[in-house]
Structure 1
Amino acid sequence: MQGACKLNNDSSTTQFTSLKSKPEENNRSSTGSFVILGLIFLTSIVALGIVYLNFPKVEESEKQHIKLPRDIEDAKRLGNVLSRYKDKFYIQVLGAYFITYIFLQSFAIPGSIFLSILSGFLFPFPLALFLVCLCSGLGASFCYSLSYLVGKRLVMKYIPQRVTEWQSHVDKHRQHLLNYIIFLRITPFLPNWFINITSPVINVPIVPFFVGTFLGVIPPTFIAIQAGTTLHQLTSSSDMLSWTSIGMLALFAVISLLPVIFKKKLQEKID
């Protein structure tokens, strides 16, 4: 087993090094990669526009609030508008939320934290929790796929050192990769956008990536949804954090590593 793991690590490192060691080819391909990413982004913008055009007709004074929230006040105003139409146009509101969240995650655009908070204001807690975790998993996987298809050379051109460092960390945890991804999603050690775009470059498989993301965002999403139930009392997104919530995140981070610790202890006894 250890030999197979070492062989796999060597193979992934070789592929990574091969990609890194061709700067001229990377430079020639960068422009094409940017063009493809731009076209995919524009297509996604068109899809968002179609969703907007098919949204129920709102009051003229409310149209200005139908936008991606950039702060908690934007989230409050958007929440007020959506809550008015939610009962009569539930599917449209749910669909618009779903597509918008995935769009933000897919292109690593800031703002999904406000949508997570907003879900607690708009939907029942179990639905909100499942919805945000699913959107996070799908959006991160789409970002992973974009990086795999057209972003590898861009990643290696602009942040090669950070990728190299993370490659060494991942290679140490390949035997328990799922737990490692869950741990990273719970903790703030690495930005989510960095994990999303670099994972395909260092050969993190898509299945543990998706499952680890889905499960790993549960604790922080739980806190965000709880905050959303008192949306109008919030003055900023940082209000949802308290010593209790930070302690809860730390506890879940430790729990995510327990299977790894027990496995190591068991292996030591067997050996």
Structure 2
Amino acid sequence: SRKPILNAGLRICFIFVLSSLILGGTLWLALPTLEEDDRPRLRIPKSFDQLKDLNDLLKKYKSIYPFRTLLCFVVVYLFLQAFSLPGSMYLSILGGAVWGVPRALFLCCACVATGATLCYAISAALGPALLTMPKWKARIDKWSAKIEAQRANLFSFLVVIRISPLPPHWVLNIAAPHLGIDVVPFWISTFFGIMGVTVIHTTIGGGLDEMTSAKDFHLLSWKNALGLSAIVVAVLIPVGIRYYFRKDIESIQALNGEVERVAEEAEAEDER
């Protein structure tokens, strides 16, 4: 039946419209009064020139309205992440330009993780209707098997998935609540998983004032690739250690289970 899917689609549309109204209301209340010449520059950047314009605009008003500028940045970032809309990369670059790399790195990672969790929550509430679709259900079953196989190393597994380009992050955000992934490990793994690429984006933003064209971005470079590879290796070290000492870990777990069983039997004997 298509009725559950139709109902879910209508609810998602309602949530999107409501969220858009909340976003618009927040920006209307929080944004300072802009000068007439500055208004066309206030938009989600989709090109290098728009990014430079918005950077100049935010720096201008940040010195006068620091909290308002920060609030508007966070609200827009959360909205884009919650509905998997494009523009987050430019916002991370912009954050590095406006607030500097150290502060922007934490801010952007927190925004991505929180926005992804909002997408997670929407999927958890409305996503079960998707399970009525055979193709989607088959994918969920396939991914569930992979998650169960990596349950002992779930955190490292999720971090590596965030670092890798596939599957797309929005797919993981939607699928996660149906794969038995809890909110807390989901948020934490997202925060640390996107840290590597966010370092790249915010660092680019830190030098935005000196750039003259989009060719200066250098997103793809050996330095960036080696940095992300180093993060993957660091994340997988606990997995390698656990695999190397797996027999010792299994014996300890078996011993703990035996101790608990003996303790339960002794307690039952005392009750008699």
| TM-score bin (small chain) | 0.7 to 0.9
User: Do residues 86 (structure 1) and 62 (structure 2) align?
Assistant: yes
Instruction: Please state whether the residue corresponding to 1:58 is helix, strand or coil.
Output: coil
What is aligned with 1:165? Answer: 142
Match for 1:89: what amino acid? Y
User: Do residues 242 (structure 1) and 221 (structure 2) align?
Assistant: yes
For the residues of structure 2 that align with 1:152 and 1:76, how far apart are their CA atoms?
42
What is aligned with 1:46? Answer: 21
8 Å CA contact retained: 2:97, 2:207? yes
Which stretch shows the higher mean deviation, 121-130 or 163-172? 163-172
> Which of 9, 16, 21 is matched with 1:34 structurally?
9
Match for 1:129: what amino acid? L
Matches within 5 A, 1:49-88: 49-54=24-29, 55-88=31-64
Inter-CA distance 58–38: structure 2 relative to 1 (3 Å threshold): same
What is aligned with 1:226? Answer: 203
Inter-CA distance 30–124: structure 2 relative to 1 (3 Å threshold): same
What is aligned with 2:178? Answer: 201
Instruction: Please state whether the residue corresponding to 1:69 is helix, strand or coil.
Output: coil
What is aligned with 2:119? Answer: 143
Match for 2:27: what amino acid? Y
Match for 2:36: what amino acid? E
**Shift in Å at residue 168 of structure 1?**
2.4
Structure 2 residue runs without a partner (length 5+): 252-272
Aligned CA-pair RMSD:
1.8
For the residues of structure 1 that align with 2:155 and 2:122, how far apart are their CA atoms?
21
For the residues of structure 2 that align with 1:156 and 1:229, how far apart are their CA atoms?
47
8 Å CA contact retained: 2:100, 2:206? no
User: Do residues 111 (structure 1) and 90 (structure 2) align?
Assistant: no
Instruction: Please state whether the residue corresponding to 1:240 is helix, strand or coil.
Output: coil
Match for 2:192: what amino acid? L
- Which structure has the bigger radius of gyration? 2
Inter-CA distance 72–95: structure 2 relative to 1 (3 Å threshold): same
> Which of 153, 163, 172 is matched with 2:129 structurally?
153
User: Do residues 189 (structure 1) and 166 (structure 2) align?
Assistant: yes
For the residues of structure 1 that align with 2:186 and 2:79, how far apart are their CA atoms?
18
What is aligned with 2:260? Answer: none
**Shift in Å at residue 179 of structure 1?**
1.1
For the residues of structure 1 that align with 2:216 and 2:172, how far apart are their CA atoms?
22
**Shift in Å at residue 79 of structure 1?**
1.1
**Shift in Å at residue 102 of structure 1?**
0.5
Instruction: Please state whether the residue corresponding to 1:61 is helix, strand or coil.
Output: coil
What is the total number of aligned residue pairs between the two structures? 246
What is aligned with 2:267? Answer: none
What is aligned with 1:6? Answer: none
For the residues of structure 1 that align with 2:33 and 2:81, how far apart are their CA atoms?
27
8 Å CA contact retained: 1:71, 1:236? no
Inter-CA distance 229–147: structure 2 relative to 1 (3 Å threshold): same
For the residues of structure 1 that align with 2:41 and 2:226, how far apart are their CA atoms?
35
Q: Relative CO higher for 1 or 2, CA cutoff 8 Å, sep ≥ 6?
A: 1
**Shift in Å at residue 96 of structure 1?**
0.3
